Amino acid sequence: MSDVTYLTQDGLNKLKKELEHLMSVERPKISKQIGEAIEKGDISENAEYDAAKDAQGMLEAKISRLKSKVANARILDESKIDTSKVQILNIVTIKNQKNKATMKYTLVPESEANLKEGKLSVETPIAKGLMGKKVGDVVEIKVPSGIIPFEIVDISI
């Protein structure tokens, strides 16, 4: 039984686009490489053939994983997101109580995380420490540099 994957509509669209690319572009490209390697003769000692077959195996495994994720995806309805406490899809503003730095993150499923865009996976220690907390709460979160107290300044969508 496959695990349910929670995604935003945007995240699901990206997965479907990647899957389509792998199936319509990458799969035919590898098939062509295998065909060209076979045309060169004896495949028992043909490194190109072996490499193409290995690449095909990895590609098919990736396609299978993506198909499973798409099939088991559940769309998170942003209109039903509560902002009274921190949860997935919230935009959370936190203040580091040690250095007074303020940071803003959107908590997203792991597959949609992108720190450059301010999208923090709900699987990270910071997000796990914030989940279920309310504005004004101070939580101590263990990070690589030690334990940092963060105050939740704002929760929005």
CATH number of the domain within which 84 lies: 3.10.50.30
Supply the pLDDT for residue 80. 77
Residues 63 and 83 in one domain: no
Task: Give 122-155 pLDDT, tens digit per residue.
Answer: 999 999 999 999 999 999 998 888 899 999 999 9
Percent of the chain predicted with pLDDT > 90: 57
Say yes or no to pLDDT of 11 above 90: no
Residues 86 and 145 in one domain: yes
Residue that is last in its domain, among 44, 75, 106: 75
Residues 83 and 145 in one domain: yes
Supply the pLDDT for residue 7. 83
Domain with 93 in it: 78-156
Residues 68 and 95 in one domain: no
Supply the pLDDT for residue 1. 41
Residue that is last in its domain, among 53, 75, 97: 75
Overall domain count for the chain: 2
Task: Give 47-80 pLDDT, tens digit per residue.
Answer: 888 888 999 999 999 999 999 989 988 888 777 7
Residue 70 identity: V
Q: Which own/partner contact pairs does 14-23 have at CB distance under 8 Å and 24+ positions apart?
A: 14/112, 15/66, 15/69, 15/70, 15/73, 15/111, 16/70, 18/66, 19/63, 19/66, 19/67, 19/70, 22/59, 22/62, 22/63, 22/66, 23/63
Work out the average pLDDT over 16-39: 93
Residues 45 and 96 in one domain: no
Supply the pLDDT for residue 2. 53
Residue that is last in its domain, among 18, 45, 75: 75
Residues 55 and 86 in one domain: no
Residues 39 and 68 in one domain: yes
Work out the average pLDDT over 86-95: 92
Percent of the chain predicted with pLDDT > 70: 99
